[in-house]
Structure 1
Amino acid sequence: MSRATRLVDYLGHIEQAAADACSFTAGMTKEAFLADKRTQQAVTMSLIVVGEAATKVVLEHPDFAARHNEVPWASMKGMRNRMAPLGPDAHRITGGAAHPCGRATPE
């Protein structure tokens, strides 16, 4: 597999995992999310995939990452590092100021 193919694959993984996380939480309130362990697990896995793929982009394709510095690569990598060792924690997932799917975070 070529380097270019791997980059495209990593970006596809990021896009698909982010879309999955958004679809898993579509229409949910924060309270409903906090009460739904299955959705928490699914979103956590999606966030791990995003972070792992972002890590690969930064390490294996640093020029691409630098050209696209509007993407929060470090935050995406850090998210994976926070989620993977400890497993799902709804408060870690919902703790961000902005909703990752572009919606306002429910209060």
Structure 2
Amino acid sequence: MGAIKDTTDATFEADVLQNDKPVLVDFWAPWCGPCRAVAPVLEELAVAHADKIDIVKLNTDENVQVSSRYGITGIPTLNVYVNGEVVKTLVGAMPKPKLVRELADYLG
């Protein structure tokens, strides 16, 4: 298993909302091409910045409660949570340099 763990409707609160570190949640689905394209980049970031941020994936097809609670209509959507609050939302796949720039405040 890689550095990214899966979260679900049942574990979201403990994995994300109660986490002491910032958490990036990748809202994705297996059929989504752009989601698959961004996955290796997120894995790299999860390994390189494990001390600063946790990265988790939430399958929107299997976890509709959390997806609807946060109004996820397009994927991939990346939400950054700090102290249980969404502080940044990125929608769509993007190249690694742009993603790193967008997340610089949380990657330390």
Whether TM-score is above 0.5 comes out as no
By percentage of residues, which structure has more strand?
A: 2
More helix per residue: 1
Structure of greater relative contact order (alpha carbons < 8 Å, 6+ residues apart): 2
- Greater Rg over alpha carbons, structure: 1
Instruction: Provide TM-score, normalisation by structure 1.
Output: 0.31
